Amino acid sequence: MDWLDAVKWDDRGLVPAIAQELGSNDVLMVAWMNREALAATAERGQAVYWSRSRNRLWHKGEESGHVQQVHEIRLDCDEDVVLLKVTQHGHDPSIACHTGRHACFFQRLEATADGRTWRAVEPVLKDPSTIYPGQP
């Protein structure tokens, strides 16, 4: 059996992929992979995802230069989620999020007098317009 056959792909042929920083164990981001993306990631040693918005393979850092070096690829107990242990390259401190932050999980749910709200609790490390020139 091909190792890719062990993965339980969804009905679109995708599996969620979590990028976790080696050392700190920070969860940097969650993306999607298809068979080709997972195979390319294993082959290259760098993260390759399936971009649902672009409808194509997306080598992390192809525009930003913020490449993810992959140290380990793990499959969860249900075989339907992939975990990548990565080192995020391209900026110091590292940036994984397109908003210019270290990680995509920068909003925290907080109680307010009026109920609850999401508040950004992590700083922007680099202006996204300088990472992605010409992007809105």
Q: Is 101 exposed, middle or buried (0-12, 13-18, 19+ CB in 10 A)?
A: buried
pLDDT of 118 over the 70 cut: yes
Q: Is the peptide bond before 123 cis (omega within 30 degrees of 0)?
A: no
pLDDT of 132 over the 90 cut: no
CA 57 to CA 34: how far, in whole Å? 9
- Please say whether the beta carbons of 110 and 86 come within 8 A: no
What are the sequence ranges of the domains in the chain? 3-131
pLDDT of 106 over the 80 cut: yes
CA 59 to CA 68: how far, in whole Å? 9
Question: Which of the four pLDDT bands, split at 50, 70 and 90, describes residue 136?
Answer: low
pLDDT at 135: 66
Tokens 């920083």 correspond to 21
To which CATH superfamily is domain 3-131 assigned? Phosphoribosyl-AMP cyclohydrolase (3.10.20.810)
